Amino acid sequence: MKYFFCTLAVLTTLFTHAQNPGSFEDVLPAFEAYSELPREVAFVHLNKSVYIKGEGIGFKAYVLDKDTKKRSLETKNFYCTVTDSLGKVVKQQLIRIENGVGSGVIRLDSTFTTGTYHFRGFTNWMRNFSEPNYFEQVLTVLDPEKTEEIAPVETELSVDAQFLPESGHALVGVNTNFGAIIKDDKGFGFPFLEGEIVSDDGDVVTGFKLNAFGIGRFLLIPEQGKDYYAVFRIANKDFRIPIGYIEPQGVTCTLKDLRDKLGLILNARFNNKWQKDQDFMLSIHNGDSIKAIDISFRDNPKVVKVFPKSDLYPGVNVITLFDASGTPVLERLYFNHEGIVIHEATAPEINFAADSVRVSFSVEGLDPKYWNSLSVSVLPERTEAQESHHNLPSYTLLNPYVRGPVEKASYYFSNITPRKIYELDNLLITQGWSSYQWNTVRNKPPKYLFDFEKGLTYKVTFNEKRTNEYFISPTLYNDSEFVTVGEEQKFFSRDNFFPINDEKLGVAAIDKNGTWYPPRVFVQFKPSFVPNLGLNEVSLLGNRENRILKEAEETTAFEGFYEVQMLDEVLLLEESKKKRIEKIRNKAIGRVEFFEDNDWRRNMWLSTYLSSRGYIVNDNSGTFSIVARTPNSLNNARPAIFLDGVLLTDFSVLYRFSMDIVDYIEINPSGVGEGIRGGGGVIRIVTDPSKLQRNGLGGESLVDYDIPLTFSYDKRFYNPIYNNPSGEFFNSFGAIDWHPNVVLDTEGKGEFSFLNYGLPAVKLFIEGIVNDREFVTDVVEVKIQ
């Protein structure tokens, strides 16, 4: 057989001959318009997929650029919703995304009961597109008091068997690959099923054997005038399913994997000369970029093209043949592993400390100059609670390109072998057309309706304006701000606002004399609610029906659990405070003093405190002035003063400034780092947002405005107290720990710890990104005893 090599230069050739209305030449510019806007794709690593009421859903969101597979740096807002079987939203959260990742915990409280729920995660930007770039997964919740509701029920055997020719067409007399997929009524394949293909005269033509997920392939050369059937047996029941899609004319496509090249064989059968003489176009795209070449069957009904895999796109390649009118004739999906890097974890090492197990593991091939982030779920060795069908690479590399759900897609993207590569190609044969609908591509390009969101935006509109000076109180992630507006200005607004939980926006007005008073303003926030994704629903595979054990009724002890959790959070907060104080003092140039709630100095004015720290302060008659007793400069004894990171040019705001709202003060008498303006030293005053909100700045001048939608704080993951952590129910459905933010050091090593439940072994479910765009996915068993 003679092969014609087609290089990248040929593939990207555009067509220069005259365009006809409704021709394939419209496809390329239409695709370019359709793919002009960049896409994001999201994956959410859930700590498991089967939960006990009272537990928490620990999750970490990975938001990637769909084309480059690097983390998206555009989006900061990530919406998470949990809906029940009727589509009603039961829980929702707004999560902050930093460097493409963010995490959270959703507690399965009294709102939940035994049943099926859907977890969905998306960004505002994803709402511009019809492709399934968002994340969605089915969850099962077990209520120990209502386990009888989901006891397995015997149902009549239902079989969905499909036998699909490669690229969607089979021609009489042409050797054709058929993908075989046989599933039950829930969408799960019948594993390792074997069958035969017989003709209508009873002859056995060939046989087939399916993999663990009910997928396989077989070769068939259909003969004129014959019908074919697949015969197989399930649960002592015989099936005879007709093989359709056999046509007398048309075009078929067969792919041949030639190691570092991909062979493409096109066979055509036409009944008239017009069909034979028409021009065709073959395109290859990945959703972002497209390449194309001319195809003609005038001289030979068989056309063979060979492409170096280096000229294909890493990941899914959508291969489509168009006829002269621009109608897609056939389509074939191919996954190119070249350029895709998926790492595994090395064998972990463990150490014991008190009642905890310390685990360390490595990822080989790590380049320390690149960003990395991983998440790890720790579950019992015999767990049945992790039934997710996807991992990070399968959801971002495969899922956006296929129309139907894929059972255990993660199988094809972990511990990859030649056998798994072959099985993935069988899967793609059975998928048929890609998720990209050419009618939509050509006629309905996406519209830019929804922005990349980077925090909240607030708009302060003046109902009555008596001043041009305003003060905005600080929050945990936003500094305080003094705002000066123009005389004719009717409002001011700010972006990149990141309030968390119950934080409020505090606004005060300041008159010309420096007096603070309550403003008369109207405040609006955007976004103010979790939006509706508004895209077509995609079909999902749920979890297999779980066996419910008698121990379920005595699974957990929730009484007092939340009190214990609150105590732990208090202790955790104290530990965080100590680390924060140490970090601030290590970075400071001058001396830093913190002011706890019971500090007697909180009853002072700021002027009194600074007078005891080497400054001469005048705090009378509505004015505040300050000079250093021993300045560094003869020309300037006035210190540079920063309030919550803002350099003050007017000290009137410090008049009668109460110490009861101060978190800490750093005094640097030398003025190092501030040049000539630091002649009197540098004073940095940082207020405590919680005290500022509670006590108010300037009495009742600061008005708090409720924020309808805030970011959820990344809480620590807690487990309830399991009554019997050595019992069968805990080993099947319990959770041990969840670590959403594991960062590898420069040697590629990561560490974390978990409570020692006395189990002989545990499993680690690891997901993440290293080297900026390479994946880590692994399931590792760790022996404890």
**Predicted local distance difference test score (pLDDT) of residue 689:** 66
Name the nearest CA neighbour of 3 among 405, 444, 308.
Answer: 308
Check whether 737 has a pLDDT greater than 70. Answer: yes
Name the nearest CA neighbour of 653 among 451, 480, 446, 431.
Answer: 480
Alpha helices, DSSP H only, in 612-754?
689-695, 728-733
Taking the C-alpha atoms of residue 192 and residue 184, their distance in angstroms, rounded to an integer, is 14
pLDDT band at 357 (very low <50, low <70, confident <90, very high): very high
Range 596-622 average pLDDT: 85
**Predicted local distance difference test score (pLDDT) of residue 697:** 47
pLDDT digits (tens, 9 = 90+) for 157-172: 889 999 999 999 999 9
CA angle 483, 628, 689 (to 5 degrees): 35
Taking the C-alpha atoms of residue 530 and residue 91, their distance in angstroms, rounded to an integer, is 11
**Predicted local distance difference test score (pLDDT) of residue 395:** 95
Taking the C-alpha atoms of residue 407 and residue 569, their distance in angstroms, rounded to an integer, is 39
Range 98-103 average pLDDT: 95
Higher pLDDT pick, 23 / 553:
23
**Predicted local distance difference test score (pLDDT) of residue 560:** 41
Check whether 700 has a pLDDT greater than 90. Answer: no
pLDDT band at 147 (very low <50, low <70, confident <90, very high): low
pLDDT digits (tens, 9 = 90+) for 24-62: 788 999 999 999 999 999 999 999 999 988 889 999 999
Check whether 741 has a pLDDT greater than 90. Answer: yes
Taking the C-alpha atoms of residue 546 and residue 138, their distance in angstroms, rounded to an integer, is 13
Strand partners, 686: 664
Strand partners, 62: 43, 101
Q: Per residue in 229-239, is it b (16+ CB within 10 Å) or e — as a string?
A: bbebeeeeeeb
**Predicted local distance difference test score (pLDDT) of residue 691:** 63
Higher pLDDT pick, 604 / 552:
604
Taking the C-alpha atoms of residue 9 and residue 5, their distance in angstroms, rounded to an integer, is 11
pLDDT band at 473 (very low <50, low <70, confident <90, very high): confident
Range 132-155 average pLDDT: 75
Tokens standing for residue 141: 């919740």
127 near 531, Cβ under 8 Å? yes
**Predicted local distance difference test score (pLDDT) of residue 174:** 93
**Predicted local distance difference test score (pLDDT) of residue 14:** 34
DSSP class of residue 71 equals B
**Predicted local distance difference test score (pLDDT) of residue 651:** 85
What is the value of pTM for the model shown?
0.83
**Predicted local distance difference test score (pLDDT) of residue 596:** 83
| Range of weakest confidence among 16-20, 268-272, 494-498 | 16-20
Taking the C-alpha atoms of residue 77 and residue 93, their distance in angstroms, rounded to an integer, is 10
Tokens standing for residue 2: 């003679």
Check whether 690 has a pLDDT greater than 70. Answer: no
Q: What is the DSSP annotation of 540-551?
A: ---PPPPP--GG
Most confidently modeled of 359-368, 512-521, 553-562?
Answer: 359-368
| Range of weakest confidence among 582-591, 716-725, 732-741 | 716-725
pLDDT band at 144 (very low <50, low <70, confident <90, very high): confident
pLDDT band at 584 (very low <50, low <70, confident <90, very high): confident
Check whether 350 has a pLDDT greater than 80. Answer: yes
Most confidently modeled of 535-544, 685-694, 743-752?
Answer: 743-752
**Predicted local distance difference test score (pLDDT) of residue 9:** 36
**Predicted local distance difference test score (pLDDT) of residue 26:** 87
DSSP class of residue 657 equals -
**Predicted local distance difference test score (pLDDT) of residue 648:** 84
Helix (H, G, I), strand (E, B) or coil at 561: helix
Check whether 18 has a pLDDT greater than 50. Answer: no
**Predicted local distance difference test score (pLDDT) of residue 455:** 95
Q: Per residue in 47-86, is it b (16+ CB within 10 Å) or e — as a string?
A: bbbbbbbbbbbbbbbbbbbbbebebbebbbbbbbbbbbee
Range 297-311 average pLDDT: 93
170: phi then psi, degrees, rounded to nearest 5: -130, 130
Check whether 101 has a pLDDT greater than 80. Answer: yes
Name residue 157's amino acid: L
Give the chain's domains with CATH numbers.
Answer: 572-705 (2.170.130)
Across the chain, mean pLDDT equals 86
**Predicted local distance difference test score (pLDDT) of residue 125:** 96
Higher pLDDT pick, 440 / 553:
440
What distances in angstroms separate CA 478 from CA 509, 529, 588, 689, one per listed residue? 19, 21, 20, 10
Helix (H, G, I), strand (E, B) or coil at 55: coil
DSSP class of residue 650 equals -
Taking the C-alpha atoms of residue 123 and residue 453, their distance in angstroms, rounded to an integer, is 8
**Predicted local distance difference test score (pLDDT) of residue 599:** 82
Tokens standing for residue 266: 């096109």
| Range of weakest confidence among 89-103, 385-399, 452-466, 527-541 | 527-541
Taking the C-alpha atoms of residue 770 and residue 101, their distance in angstroms, rounded to an integer, is 13
Q: For residue 622, count CB atoms less than 10 angstroms from its CB and return exposed for 0-12, middle for 13-18, buried for 19 or more.
A: exposed
Taking the C-alpha atoms of residue 129 and residue 41, their distance in angstroms, rounded to an integer, is 11
pLDDT digits (tens, 9 = 90+) for 371-410: 999 999 999 999 999 989 999 999 999 999 998 899 999 9
pLDDT band at 345 (very low <50, low <70, confident <90, very high): very high
> Beta strand 135-142 with 505-510: parallel, antiparallel or unpaired?
unpaired
pLDDT digits (tens, 9 = 90+) for 760-770: 999 999 999 99
Most confidently modeled of 338-352, 466-480, 650-664?
Answer: 338-352
Helix (H, G, I), strand (E, B) or coil at 352: strand
Check whether 502 has a pLDDT greater than 90. Answer: no
Higher pLDDT pick, 522 / 19:
522
pLDDT band at 573 (very low <50, low <70, confident <90, very high): low
**Predicted local distance difference test score (pLDDT) of residue 192:** 96
Most confidently modeled of 15-29, 68-82, 615-629, 674-688?
Answer: 68-82
Higher pLDDT pick, 411 / 785:
411
| Range of weakest confidence among 258-272, 551-565, 623-637, 663-677 | 551-565
Residue with tokens 């015997």: 154
| Range of weakest confidence among 40-54, 128-142, 693-707 | 693-707
Taking the C-alpha atoms of residue 90 and residue 52, their distance in angstroms, rounded to an integer, is 16
What whole-number percentage of the chain has pLDDT above 70?
90
**Predicted local distance difference test score (pLDDT) of residue 557:** 47
| Range of weakest confidence among 322-326, 380-384, 610-614, 713-717 | 713-717
